[in-house]
Structure 1
Amino acid sequence: MLGADTEVGRLRTVMLHRPGDELARLTPRNNDSLLFDGIPWVGRAQDEHDAFAQVLRDHDVEVLYLRELLTETLADETARTDVLDTTLADRRLGDTLRRHLRAHLAEEHPDDLAQVLVAGLRNDEVKHRSIVTGLLRTDDFLVDPLPNLLFTRDSSLWLRDRVVVTSLAMPARVRETQLTRLVYAHHPRFAGTPVQHGPDAERLEGGDVLELAAGVLAVGVGERTTPAGFERFATDVLAADLARTVLAVPIAQDRATMHLDTIVTMVDRDTVVIYPTMADSLQAYAVTHDGDELVVAPARPFFVAAADAMGIERLHHIDTGLDPVTAEREQWDDGNNTLAIAPRVAIAYERNEQTNARLAEHGVEVVAISGSELGSGRGGPRCMSCPVARDPLD
């Protein structure tokens, strides 16, 4: 059974992407444009990710790998044609080079084609010579690598029994949702799954969407999810009865708070961990619908609006860190980007010692993992996971 309607129901199946050669494509010249704050040690990042996946398996969670699903999907000729159409639409290529790449890639084994789609293709890796290849630098990419594919939460999320394929805002990440959509459209595991939104819709990223309770969503609106993206998403999910209330939560357009889940995540059905600097200032607009019209309530404090929408007396919160400096450090290190695998059981980066201690003090079992290299792309356990199936809460 596929689907999820909360952040904390017992996790059954999750989609991850094990980092690979795409991380080795990062250099001091391109890491900023590819949205990484440093150059990760690839082998160590893979070890850390393998340990993360093993923790999930140890808790009886089925782990699906996006790269493996993509390779299996590319055995389908329709899927291959689809992905070549989208990948080779890049205007940097020109008609001559585009024709050559299409002919070459169409003949590749599915695993080799998946490698190009994820790790990219450099000019000096192509034998064909044309005016375009001659004028580009030898180490310019003809197909860009996707190091942020690691963060599978952003490109899709599940609402009940259907999947939302998102629309990523940053140019370096646009192709991620093209690949994710391809998998959901053509892989037998997801046959018949209804799809919402999509890469061509207004900007919406999965890291901005929190499933606070069955029928209640909170969506951060800031650097990555636009107001228009929120409106489109809210309109669609309310009309489809996937939610009864969607909270619009304005957040600062900063690197440190790029998504709502860099500020707040859920660790129990009525408890979140949050960056304390934001706890008092975070606001929310409750959006419902009346027929075809959205009804937008006035802004209220986030915790008040969320509790009211969830039908609970209070939404409790645990702060990251014990003082302002520690809170800022641990928020930057994804201290509040936790992945709940069951109510009051959460995976978190081990380096955020004070935040993890506060979680434990409040009765949350913390499953600590290493993330010194994984975190260089600014993402924690929640960012690195797309829950595909969760048990409903009682």
Structure 2
Amino acid sequence: MIAELFAVRTQPEQVSEKQGRDLCSVDSEHGRLELVIVHEPGLEVDAVMPWTLDTMKVDECFNRVDLKAQHRHFSSLLKSRGAQVVHVKDLLLEVSHLGEEARRDLFESVWGKEFLATQSLNTLNVEQLITGYSREPLAFDKPPLMNLFFMRDPLFAVPGGWVVIARPHFPIRQVESKLMRAIFRLHPSLKNIKVFDGLADDPDVNIEGGDVLVADAETVLVGVSQRTNERGADRLAEFLFANTPVTRVVKVFIPKQRAFMHLDTLFTFIDRGVVLTMPYFWSKPEVYAEVARRANALNEKMGSDERQDAEDWIVEPPRIELLTKGKNGEFTSKKYKHAMSGLQAEGIIDKALFVCGAEGSWPTPEAHVAKALTEQWNDAANVFCLSPGTVVAYKWCTRTVSHLQDNGIDVIELDGVELMKGRGGARCMTFPLRRSLSLQS
């Protein structure tokens, strides 16, 4: 039924309310992947140039041909393991084929009524909602959605069959959320899915899907990070407790650094109760402080003014706060100074594997962390679970891939050097809409 609903056609099928609800089902990070939405990058990446890198939130310019080819290969890997892969561009085209009223609604929802009043609808192409609107090179009236191929962030699925529209930290990424909210409201195959957009309308909230991990049907982890603030985590907890089977929300506090912009850049599930994460990150943050000091000393010796804030690791070490659903809409709070031990004590995590190998396998913790930071920068920890014990990971992260394989994890290696330039891995590039029930996986 899923495949039939998302075959590209000029008249998408109007599905029943029950069919729509059943499309969305995510109660874990490890259940077998059945349906996933992705975006293959296109002309929008051509707006990336050395003088727009910070604005576009990337670190390098792209070769669009190679980028598209690598993303297409990524999609083929997902399909080869039985997942139905749906592309945002196809969803947009199907909405546009519904008629002029739907097209107008789509453009107004993303670009606003005032701007659309100055344009002729017939001259606009729905792909411009992604590639941007400009009358000459780089003179964008409506900017390109350069980061849309990181589909994890503008929205996310939670237990109970809900899709939550995120409110990203940067305004340009908030446009991505507007686009996805409009698609889910207008597309006949998606419109009956339950969508919560209350967070997107709260100006004091920042929350992105890269910070939201579904441990099980009753437990959701939310990173409080560079991109997600504590109000976003608390507002999500309030919604989950009131509307879903979730009874526990774990706020995971991590350093507000670009290298760790989301929780899933350093912590992902690879099986039931098994995670891949950074060595010593949770247990000995002082190791990171020492590596930062050594890096600062090297930079100074070489005449560079680049510095890492070593003391932040000591003053604000990673920690967790467990929120548990109570009566009358209230919830209780329990804090753990040591995050990993707290997750283990609460039965959320049974085992951890580490970027670049097991803790204790290197001559010193500092040597391990220095190498792990290099692989983590290229998203070694941002793997994507296709089924229990099966993940997609970047081939470039050789030590991490070997460590996973040595511990019985089936690693599907993705050759994605061009994809890595965007600072996002396999999990970042996916929005899972349906997984098989984790108890049956």
Residue equivalent to 1:115: 127
Separation (CA, whole Å) in 1 of partners of 2:128 and 2:280: 42
Separation (CA, whole Å) in 2 of partners of 1:295 and 1:6: 23
Residue equivalent to 2:175: 175
Residue equivalent to 1:27: 49
Q: What do residues 70-96 of structure 1 show as CA deviations (whole Å, max 9, x unaligned)?
A: 221233445433333344449xxxx6x
Residue equivalent to 1:149: 148
Within a 5 Å distance, the mapping from 1:304-383 to structure 2 comes to 304-309=341-346, 311=347, 315-322=350-357, 323-383=368-428
Separation (CA, whole Å) in 1 of partners of 2:72 and 2:378: 20
**Do structure 1's residue 234 and structure 2's residue 259 form an aligned pair?**
no
Which amino acid is 1:392 matched to? L
Residue equivalent to 1:200: 201
Within a 5 Å distance, the mapping from 1:376-391 to structure 2 comes to 376-391=421-436
- Give the superposition deviation at 1:289: 2.6
Which amino acid is 2:426 matched to? P
Q: What do residues 334-379 of structure 1 show as CA deviations (whole Å, max 9, x unaligned)?
A: 0010000000000000000000000001110100001111111110
The answer on whether the counterparts of 1:303 and 1:315 sit within 8 Å (CA) in structure 2 is no
Separation (CA, whole Å) in 1 of partners of 2:40 and 2:321: 37
Residue equivalent to 1:184: 184
Within a 5 Å distance, the mapping from 1:38-187 to structure 2 comes to 38-76=60-98, 77-89=100-112, 99-101=117-119, 104=120, 106-108=121-123, 113-124=125-136, 139-160=138-159, 161-187=161-187
Separation (CA, whole Å) in 2 of partners of 1:163 and 1:347: 23
- What is the number of equivalent residue pairs in this alignment? 368
Identity, % of aligned pairs? 29
Separation (CA, whole Å) in 2 of partners of 1:82 and 1:300: 48
The answer on whether the counterparts of 1:79 and 1:182 sit within 8 Å (CA) in structure 2 is no
Separation (CA, whole Å) in 2 of partners of 1:382 and 1:373: 16
The answer on whether the counterparts of 1:7 and 1:212 sit within 8 Å (CA) in structure 2 is yes
Separation (CA, whole Å) in 2 of partners of 1:279 and 1:71: 45
Which amino acid is 1:175 matched to? V
- Give the superposition deviation at 1:308: 4.2
**Do structure 1's residue 221 and structure 2's residue 256 form an aligned pair?**
no
Distance 1:245 1:308, change over 3 A: farther
- 318-327 or 36-45: which moved more? 318-327
The answer on whether the counterparts of 2:133 and 2:140 sit within 8 Å (CA) in structure 1 is yes
Which amino acid is 1:230 matched to? A
Find 1:268's aligned residue among 271, 279, 284.
271
Residue equivalent to 1:134: none
Q: Which runs of 5+ in 1 are unaligned?
A: 125-137
CA RMSD between the two structures: 1.8
Q: What do residues 5-38 of structure 1 show as CA deviations (whole Å, max 9, x unaligned)?
A: 1000011111110010001121112121010100
The answer on whether the counterparts of 2:162 and 2:193 sit within 8 Å (CA) in structure 1 is yes
Residue equivalent to 2:11: none
Find 1:259's aligned residue among 255, 259, 262.
262
The answer on whether the counterparts of 2:33 and 2:386 sit within 8 Å (CA) in structure 1 is yes
Which amino acid is 2:117 matched to? R
TM-score of the two chains, using structure 2 as the length reference: 0.80
- Give the superposition deviation at 1:99: 3.0
The answer on whether the counterparts of 1:159 and 1:242 sit within 8 Å (CA) in structure 2 is no
Which amino acid is 2:153 matched to? D
1:189 match: secondary structure: coil
Separation (CA, whole Å) in 1 of partners of 2:61 and 2:225: 26
The answer on whether the counterparts of 2:109 and 2:179 sit within 8 Å (CA) in structure 1 is no
